[in-house]
Amino acid sequence: MRGLAGRFMESRSGSFAPILVLAMIPLITAIGFSVDYTSAVQTRSDMQAALDAAILSITTMDTASTLPQRQVALQQSFDANGAPVGAIATLKSFDSTTAGDGTAVAQASASYAMPTVFMQIARITTVPVGVTSSVRKTPALVAATFKVTKVSGQWSKKMTLYGTLFGATKAKPLMTIDYTYGNTGDSKGYGTTNVSVITTNSNNKTVTTLAQKQVCKLVDSNTPSGAVIQTDMFNTRYYCVDTMYPATGTGAEIDVSKMGGLYLQMDVPSGNPSKLMSNDPTTSNRLYNSASKDIPPVEIETGQIVDIFGLVPCGSTGYQAWEDGGNKVPAPVSNADFFYNVTGRCDFNKRQSDTLLTQ
């Protein structure tokens, strides 16, 4: 036996093969570890994208949703967006009360024990992969109250507020401001304006509810005492009487908290053009807007698409007007015939566009 061992140690033929095998073990191990590492990096990237999408998705849930309900939705969205099987997403917090203005802040994390392939040589069967994500969702418009201040002109017209529900493709009317010329015969022209809220009842029937009625007439012997007399650019004296429904109402209040999009449309059958739309860049320039009653409304620049959500101020009143087609634009707001104001109420909402990833 001793002689055999000696001859093996002294032999020079064929000794390179076992040396090569022994030398390749650490090389193969290093390559294997790098493959597992690359896999872990890719897995982490996929998890981050899935968690970001998931935490954004739960901000569009109903505002009354509980933390457990959002947790379930977070995991479902995390899985649906390509998270590895077995990865766990955890909603750490969702708070829309601390800021006091409806701002919501959410934080989430995800973990996964990624199985290894080559690292098992070193008895490392899994590698922990973890990601975190957080969002900040600012308050946005949830309700808007429209009130007519003055409508005039010698032709009838109607403004409609349209809204598109989340997940829907077709807009539906939410409010109308309908003006009918009263044949006053003066240069400006006055008449009756009805402001109505449009809703759908439990039977899926459209319900129109009058919120304001404004009747403007020329001053004559029948003018009621106490009427506020005004004089227009043609020195015509007129007055307007407002009736609110209910009597303590402030205008047509529209719930837009479930709307993903809003736009205004003015239909003027006798005008040119006869249809004006805030989301049409060719006609939106007939809309005027101001954030203060002390500043005359300014015409929207030509070629713009107006975001009504951004146009209506939160917690204050905006002042708007339309040039209904009787004059070419650009034109001063004094030429407009359709004036109203709109007051916005903002809170935590379901619009995803108001949500920003912060981590």
Q: Which among 163, 132, 130 has a CA at the least distance from the CA of 146? A: 163
User: Computed from CA positions of residues 44, 49, 52, 58, in that sequence, does the dihedral angle turn out positive or negative?
Assistant: negative
131 or 358, which is more confident?
131
**Whole-number pLDDT of residue 315:** 86
pLDDT, residue 342, reads 96
The count of C-alpha atoms lying within 13 angstroms of the C-alpha of 129, restricted to the half-sphere facing its C-beta, is 27
Q: What percent of the chain has pLDDT over 90?
A: 59
Task: Give the residue from 82, 76, 85, 83 showing the smallest Cα distance to 57.
Answer: 76
| Order of strands, sheet of 140-151, starting from the edge strand that comes earlier in the sequence | 252-255, 140-151, 338-347, 317-322, 287-290, 298-299
Find the length of the chain: 359
pTM of the full structure: 0.73
* Dist. CA 336–CA 356, nearest whole Å: 39
Q: Are 45 and 37 in contact (CB under 8 A)?
A: no
- Top pLDDT among 139 and 81 is at 81
Going 309 to 50 to 73 to 102, the CA torsion angle's sign is negative
Residues ≥6 apart with Cβ < 8 Å to 18 = none
Tokens 């076992």 map to which residue?
A: 18
Tokens of 283: 């006609």
Is the bond into 332 cis (omega within 30 degrees of 0)? no
Instruction: Domain ranges for the chain, please list them.
Output: 2-137, 141-352
CB 326 within 8 A of CB 276: no
Report how far Cα 93 is from the mean position of its chain's Cα atoms. Answer: 22
Tens-place pLDDT, residues 294-311: 999 999 999 999 989 888
Q: What is the pLDDT of residues 160-214, one digit of tens each?
A: 999 998 888 899 999 999 999 999 999 999 999 999 999 988 888 999 999 999 9
Q: Which residue has the tokens 């109505």?
A: 196
Least confident of 3-7, 149-153, 354-358: 3-7
Structure tokens at 48: 């981050």
186's tokens: 């003066």
DSSP label at 83? P
At a CB cut-off of 8 Å and minimum separation 6, what does 187 contact? 234, 236
CB 238 within 8 A of CB 217: yes
Confidence of residue 12 (pLDDT cuts 50, 70, 90): low
Q: Running DSSP on this structure, what letter comes out for residue 58?
A: G
DSSP characters over 250-263 = -SEEEE-TTEEEEE
Indicate whether 101 pLDDT > 90.
no
